[in-house]
A and B are shown apart, each in its own frame.
Chain A
Amino acid sequence: MSPSNHGAAARPGTRKLVQGNIALAEGAVRAGLNCYFGYPITPQNQIPEYLSWRLPETGGVFLQAESELASINMVLGAAATGARVMTSSSGPGISLMQEGISFLAGSQIPCLIVDVMRCGPGLGGIKPTQADYYQATRGGGHGDYRTIVLAPFSAQEMFDFPMRAFDLAEHYRNPVLILSDAILGQLKEPAVLEPAGIPRPLPNTWALTGAHNRPARNLRSMYLSGDDQEIHNNVLWEKYNRIEQELPEAEQIETDDADILIVAFGSAARIALSAIRLAREEGLRVGLFRPVTLYPYPGKALRELTSRVNRVLVVEMNMGQMLDDVRLAVTDEVRIHFYGRPGGGVPTPHDILAKIKEC
């Protein structure tokens, strides 16, 4: 099966057996993380636990806040100075942060937010899910905004994505969300924990660094006079349009000869890979289209691919959220099937194989 075990085998360097949450935390440190603010919640607790000792080693600040509300507003304050700042949580905590995320987006302040999804709604449970897809990709808070959303599917990508996230956040002056889940957070597998890139400091034209020998700056999301708010929103949407042109990314696995296409992201894509192996053992030619960016959605690539492979099975650990983006992307000639498990349930490769046979 191509390609390599999810990045690690092909990468030069020493492979280490590492838990997804730890890989992500170390990836953030290697990306030049200056500050972490967060409040504990399973299944992401290894991230703050690790950063509580690791980040001070590099001169960074680790602070366990009194709540998620405090965490996200500390992120806003620290990131406004141009520092590399992150927080992490899981569904219930991310819900509490939505007001702050809306303010970050409105004020165009770059930062990293990590959601290691657990099943809901409400307090739910600690089992994996992908049910925060809508919340992540549609803004989540009030107002017409977007956060860039990256979906890792291996320990290697858990390590690599914080670096990409900070680069993208600063390039577009926009919050970036890494949408992981309980499987990827708790899973251990080999990864190469060496920089996938080098932090690219951008010329500082906006951060609040003290108005010494320069005009004062102001970061805000409130525009009360005249048409200023609409003008501001148009600025944001010009940016989102640029993001939608420049960023969409997907991985295609075994799609060259495929008759049936599975569309899945994150850990559902891992389980789908096992199902594809079972299907191919039975002579069924099935391939995988795995969105890496969930916003912007790689709809154009999916539309092109489905002009050739017109039987599609969408697999998610929710009741059909990314399914909307697939429907928006493909033409009416494509037959879309869906298999989802709600929060608390995880599909098995054999479950997916049975659905493949119905396509």
Chain B
Amino acid sequence: MHHEWLLAGFGGQGILFLGDLLAQAAMRQGLQTTYMPTYGVAMRGGTANCIVRLSDGPIGSPLFEEPDAAIILNQQSFTKFLPVLRSGSLIIANSSMIDAENANTRKDVHIVYVPATELAREAAGTERATNMIALGAFLAVENTLQENTIEQIMGEERNPSKQKLVQTNKTAIQAGMAYVHKLASSRNGA
């Protein structure tokens, strides 16, 4: 088993935090993992991305190569990375910022459109939880990492000023998962 996941969006959307969280969860589940961010020139408003690799064996290169899954939160990153994802890739795309109608020129990838920014505002009360909505959606479809593991890691936050944020994040993850489950059941029903 070897996965290469791409996480991409605007700086400030919590992309690097998300990558770090996924790598921690992978480690917690006994997997080998690497996390490689863009660095130095990343800033608020610019684009940010990182690569998280998960494997049951040693990991060689930690760098971007040909991701097999992605969480993409803005249009620029979607346009840039869609052509280079591996055939069969799962993509969670933030349709609050990505034009779903005209976006997909590839038929060999599986894109789940989630209005993550809107859902974050509605379910968690803040757009800052966009990344966690997308994470919830991702966990609902890609089952390498368990939601439990993520919640466990979040539960270990001891900084009182961040504990409120933890609750917000958990709510957002649940909302993201629920959205995808509803999407699936309405599709199955139709």
Contact = CB atoms under 8 A, between A and B. Distances in A.
Nearest to A277: B60
A274 B61 contact: yes
B63 A1 contact: no
Interface stretch (A30-38, A183-191, A230-238, A242-250): A183-191
Contacts of B60: 270-277, 349
Given A1-B57, A42-B40, A126-B40, A187 B62 contact: yes
Nearest to A45: B40
B170 to A, nearest CB: 20
Query: In terms of DSSP, what is the predominant structure of the interface of chain A?
Result: mixed
A241 interface: no
Given A17-B27, A348-B65, A183 B36 contact: yes
A15 interface: yes
B33 A43 contact: no
A149 interface: no
Given A43-B39, A183-B63, A186-B39, A1 B58 contact: yes
A126 B41 contact: yes
Contacts of A277: 60
A40 B80 CA distance: 32
A346 B58 contact: no
Nearest to A253: B58
Interface residues of B, number: 21
Nearest to B38: A186
Interface string A253-272: 00000000000000000111
A96 B20 CA distance: 35
B20 A189 contact: no
B34 interface: yes
Contacts of A213: none
Contacts of B40: 42-43, 126
B58 A4 contact: yes
B43 interface: no
Interface in B35-55: 35-37, 39-41
Nearest to B25: A17
Interface string A173-210: 00000000011001111100000000000000000000
A5 B37 CA distance: 20
A164 interface: no
A187 B23 CA distance: 11
A346 B63 contact: yes
A303 interface: no
A246 to B, nearest CB: 29
B32 interface: yes
Interface in A1-51: 1, 3-6, 9, 15, 17, 42-43
Contacts, number: 76
B77 to A, nearest CB: 19
Nearest to B57: A1
B183 interface: no
Interface string B57-84: 1111111010000000000000000000
A186 B65 contact: no
A272 B34 CA distance: 16
Contact of A270 (B24, B27, B41, B61): B61
B62 A189 contact: yes
B36 to A, nearest CB: 5
B37 A271 contact: no
* Chain B CB within 10 Å, residue with most, of A126, A274, A277: A274
Nearest to A19: B35
A245 B20 CA distance: 43
Nearest to A42: B40
Contacts of A275: 60
A273 B24 contact: no
A350 B63 CA distance: 12
B53 to A, nearest CB: 9
Contacts of B35: 17, 187-189
Contact of B33 (A3, A17, A186, A350): A17
B32 A9 contact: yes
Contact of B34 (A3, A188, A346): A188
A158 B27 CA distance: 18
A182 B32 CA distance: 21
A17 B61 contact: no
Nearest to A276: B60
B45 to A, nearest CB: 19
A23 to B, nearest CB: 13
A182 B57 CA distance: 24
10 contacts: A5-B59, A17-B27, A186-B39, A188-B34, A188-B35, A189-B34, A271-B60, A275-B60, A346-B63, A348-B65
Given A5-B58, A190-B33, 5 more contacts: A17-B33, A183-B36, A187-B62, A271-B60, A272-B60
Interface of A: 1, 3-6, 9, 15, 17, 42-43, 126, 182-183, 186-190, 270-277, 346, 348-350
The 7 closest A-B pairs by CB, nearest first: A273-B60, A274-B60, A188-B35, A274-B61, A5-B58, A271-B61, A5-B32
